[in-house]
Chains A and B, each alone.
Chain A
């Protein structure tokens, strides 16, 4: 069933493909495979019971969280350091990944999972810089969930002792609720956005470990106050770390690479 409107249109199915697989539309799995019982199933009951209340106290996201923990266990066993990269559309997530893979790819094995509603564009960009990649197209869905990652990871077959970067769907709201099994969550904000974003979308900033402020080369031309952004973000999450950089000019990229290497060691 579609995440957005609840309809059952086949177009809304999540697809997971590698670049070059565009023509194949055979989906081994659909959303429905999770349900052991059909919703429309008629039940016959021999006896009727009395009215009663069952105390559940069940976490609504327990299924997602359970699969996320399974993913986490898989990553830990294979010593794969996993980042969940979240941001608004257009903050420069894919460009950051491209440059990082180009400049560190000879020292670190990178694997990438791309999440977008539609198109293979981002996966093609990542493939072009030489990292193995799978693209998740969420159809109408607005976020990646742990089950999509579990499926994508099987396609990707990442090596031991590597780094996996998951580029989430460009959206500062919905992905914040869904644990994917990552080691760290990285929120990216760019200087062309409003500097009050951390308090406008606090859930995402509250659940992230690192905040990357991108496009610092544009600071002379925009009304973006970096110190104000940091202040707002720290109000929401006093554990948050910051790195400011420009993917375009390369300024600050070394700090990001150092963070990456240190986090891999200390995870």
Chain B
């Protein structure tokens, strides 16, 4: 259940940024989670529900945006979407691929007052 660690990190970062900006409250937070990052969005939502109590994020709207994993085939240079780490290139079936995106764990933005 590493999603709780991720949730606590999100709260810490949002807290620090809100203080730095002299914010009264955080209205909304946008979080980007890669589809092969190893973090389950539903588990993260569940963890955040509990962890945000009595923090800056308690009443903030949360937008969790999945980032679709993409890879580049090192044999034929095709770029394709993938749902797992081990999908062959749809063009040439090679498994020698380089993951371009999908591992993101990022706070994109916060909207504050």
Contact = CB atoms under 8 A, between A and B. Distances in A.
Task: Give the interface size class of chain B.
Answer: 35 or more
A46 B9 CA distance: 29
Interface string A59-93: 11111100000000000000000000000000000
A248 interface: no
Interface in A189-247: 199, 202-203, 205-206, 232, 234-238
A1 B112 contact: no
Contacts of B36: 202-203
Contacts of A237: 85
B105 to A, nearest CB: 4
Q: From A34, A174, A178, name the one whose CB has the most chain B CB atoms within 10 angstroms.
A: A174
A237 B31 CA distance: 27
B13 interface: yes
B54 A4 contact: no
A51 interface: yes
Interface in B1-53: 1-2, 4-13, 15-17, 19, 21-24, 27-28, 31, 36-39, 47, 50-51
B8 to A, nearest CB: 6
Interface stretch (A37-45, A119-127, A150-158, A180-188): A37-45
Interface of B: 1-2, 4-13, 15-17, 19, 21-24, 27-28, 31, 36-39, 47, 50-51, 54-55, 84-86, 88, 95-97, 105-113
Interface of A: 1-6, 34-35, 37, 39-40, 43, 45, 48-64, 141-143, 145, 173-174, 176-178, 199, 202-203, 205-206, 232, 234-238
